[in-house]
Structure 1
Amino acid sequence: MAILNADLHCHSTISDGTLEPEALAARAHANGVELWALTDHDELGGQQRAMQAARALGLPYLTGVEISVTFAGLTVHIVGLGVDPEDAQLRDGLARTRGGRERRAREMAEQLAAVGIRGAFEGALKYVGNPELISRTHFARYLVEAGVCHDTHEVFRRFLTEGKPGYVEHRWATLGDAVRWIRTAGGVAVIAHPARYAHPNPTQEYALFAEFKAHGGQAVEVVTGSHSEAEALRYADLALEFGLAASRGSDFHSPDESHTDLGALPLLQGRLTPVWELLADRIIH
C-alpha cells in the first residue's frame, strides 16, 4: 500500500475537540486526507457518525480511540485503530477509565479556587456535555473565556501541568489493559506522540517501548502535530529498532487551538512500515 496522506489522530466534541465528527470528516476531506480516523479520548460515541460522514464523502475511514494510561507515574496515551466500536470488553474498559474524570475535575476546580479562580468546574462544563468526559482542555477554554489567560497554551503552562495549581494526577488504565482491550476489539495499538512524555531518563522511555511491545503493541506515532523533524527521525529509528509500524496523525482538536491542521503533516519516510498496512482489512470505504 502506498504512502498516504493519512491522518489517524484527531478529536471531536465527543471528547475535547471543538468540531462535530461530521465537520472533522469534511475538513479532512477538503484538506486532501486520504485515510482518516477519529480518536476521541476514552470514548467511542462519535464513531458511527464519523464513519457515516466519511463514507458519504468517499473518504476511507478507520475506527479509533485514544486511551489514557498510567505508566511509571506518567500519563501516556495509546491510540487504538481499527477497533470494533461495539466490543463489550473495550467499551467496559473505557467506561471505567472515564469514571474518575468528574472527581478529578472537582479537585482541579478546588485548587483553582484556592488561588482565586472561582467557578471553574461549572465554567468547564459549558464546553462539555458529559461530566464523565471533562478534561483539562475544557478548563483551559474556560480560563481563556474568563480572561485569566490569553490562550489555552498559557493556561496549561501556568495552571494545568504537574506542580501547578489546578493539576490533579489521575490513575488511568494500565498499559497492558489498554493494549489488550484494543487487540481484543480487533485493532492495532499505537503509542501516541511519544516525544510529549516527560520521562526522567532514556531508560524509562525504552521500558515503555519494551513493555508496550511485550503486551502486543504494534505501532508508534512517528509523524504527529507535536513532533519536530528531529523527533520524527528519532522515533522512526525507534520504530525500526522495536519492529513497530509507523503511524501519522495531527492530534487536531480545534481550528483555533491546534498547531497542525488535518492533513498538513509531512509524509512518513519510505523505510517505515505504515500502520495502515496492518489494517488493510479494517479500512471502511
Structure 2
Amino acid sequence: MSVLIDFHTHTTASDGALSPAALLQRARDRDIRLLAITDHDTVAGYQAAVAQYNPSGNALRLVPGVELSCVWSGVTVHVVGLGMDCEHPVFVAGLARLAAARTERARVIGERLAKLGFPGALEGALQEAGASQVGRPHFAAWMLARGHVDSLTRAFDRYLGRGKPGDVKAFWPELAEVTAWIVQAGGVAVLAHPLKYALTRSKLRRLVADFVAAGGSAVEILNGRQTPDQSRQLRLLALEAGLEVSAGSDFHQESSWGAEVGVELRHLGGLRGVWQRWLPPQDCPSVEVT
C-alpha cells in the first residue's frame, strides 16, 4: 500500500495559486496522510488551513511548515521548517524580520525596474500580491498584465531571474540565523532543493556542513519533478552528512510542468525520513535502495 505525504507546498499566502482551504481539500482528495504548507517567509497559509481543518475522522494530518529565505556565501538559500511552534517568540521575531526584508527587497526591485523603463512596478506588484507576501512572481504577473512581457517565463529570463536586475538577495539573513529560529522553536530544519543552487560538489558539501553546524538536521531528496540521478545524488549527500531526509512536490499551481500535490514515500535504505516523527512505523518504508 502506497503512502502519500507532502512537506513542501505553497498557497496564495505566498506565491501559490490555491487558497489554503483549496490546497487542503486537494490533499484530502488525493488521500495524502501528512501535509505541510510551507509558504515563503510566512505561516499565514498554515494558520488559515488549521482554521479550516477538522481532524475528526480524517486521515490527513497537518504539520506546521514554512520556507524561509536566507543567504549563504552570497547565494540565496531556502530552509524549510517543519513542526515548529509558530508562536515561539524567536520564530515570530524572525518572521517579522523577513517580512521587513521582503518589503525592502521589493522596493529595490521596483527601483531597478523603473530605471529599465517600467515605472510603477512596485505598486503593481503590491496590488498583484494583495494579502500575500510580495515576491518576484508578483512583479512578473504585473509585467505580463501590462504587456511588458509576453509570458511569466520571459519576465524571469530577462528581468527577474538569477543574475538579472530583479535578482535582489542582499536583505536576507544568514543561513545560520534562519536555521536557529526553526530549531529554537522546536522544529526540524530542512535544506530545501539543494541542487537548485547550482553549486559545485565541494561548495554543496560546505553548505551542508554549515547547515548541520547551525542545527539543520534534514535535506530534501525529492522536490517536484527530478531525475532518478538527481535523487541518487541527494541520497548520497544525506548519507555522507548523516542527515535525515524530507520530500515534497513544491506545488504552486496545477500545470503540465509542475508536480502534483503529494509524493509517494520511497524505500530509503539507511536513511531516516523526517515524516517518521508523524507516521506510525508500519507506514514508513524500510527496504534497501539499490
Global fold match (TM > 0.5): yes
Give the aligned partner of residue 94 of structure 1: 95
Match for residue 182 of structure 1? Answer: 182
SS in structure 2 at match of 1:75? strand
**1:117-138 alpha-carbon deviations (Å, 9 max, x no partner):** 232212211222358x211111
Secondary structure (helix, strand or coil) at the match of 1:9 reads strand
Taking structure 1 as reference, are residues 257 and 124 closer, same or farther at Cα in structure 2, changes over 3 Å only?
A: farther
Q: Aligned partners of 1:168, 1:185: CA distance in 2, in Å?
A: 28
Aligned to 1:84: 85
Contact 1:193–1:227 (8 Å) recurs in 2: no
Q: CA deviation at 1:226?
A: 5.0
Residue number in structure 2 paired with 1:106: 107
Change (3 A) 1:134 1:255: same
Alignment correspondent of 1:219: 218
Distance across 2 between alignment mates of 1:274 and 1:212: 18
Tell whether the 8 Å contact from 2:84 to 2:185 is kept in structure 1 after alignment: yes
**Distance in 1 separating the partners of 2:221 and 2:107:** 35
Aligned residue identity for 2:113: L
Instruction: State the partner residue of 1:270.
Output: 268
Displacement of 1:90 in angstroms is: 0.3
Q: Distance in 2 between matches of 1:10 and 1:202?
A: 27
RMSD (Å) for aligned C-alpha atoms? 2.2
Paired residues for 1:84-163 under 5 Å: 84-130=85-131, 133-163=133-163
Q: Give the counterpart letter for 2:238 in structure 1.
A: A
Which residue identity is paired with 2:137? T
2:288 matched to which residue of 1? none
**TM-score under structure 2 length normalisation:** 0.88
Mapped contact 1:3–1:270 kept (Cα < 8 A): no
The SS at the match of 2:234 is helix
| In structure 2, distance between residues paired with 1:154 and 1:232 | 29
The aligned counterpart of 2:283 is none
Instruction: Check whether the contact 2:136–2:160 (CA below 8 A) recurs between aligned residues.
Output: yes
Unmatched 5+ stretches in structure 1: none
Query: Which residue number corresponds to residue 67 of structure 1?
Result: 68
Q: Secondary structure at the match of 1:69?
A: strand
In structure 2, distance between residues paired with 1:123 and 1:100: 19
Relative to structure 1, the CA distance from residue 223 to residue 25 in structure 2 (aligned partners, 3 Å threshold; closer, same or farther) is same
Q: Is the 8 A contact 2:15 2:135 kept in 1?
A: yes
| TM-score relative to the length of structure 1 | 0.89
Tell me if 1:17 matches 2:19. no
Q: What stretches of structure 1 move > 4 A for 4+ residues in a row? A: none
Taking the aligned partners of 1:88 and 1:252, their CA distance within structure 2 comes to: 29
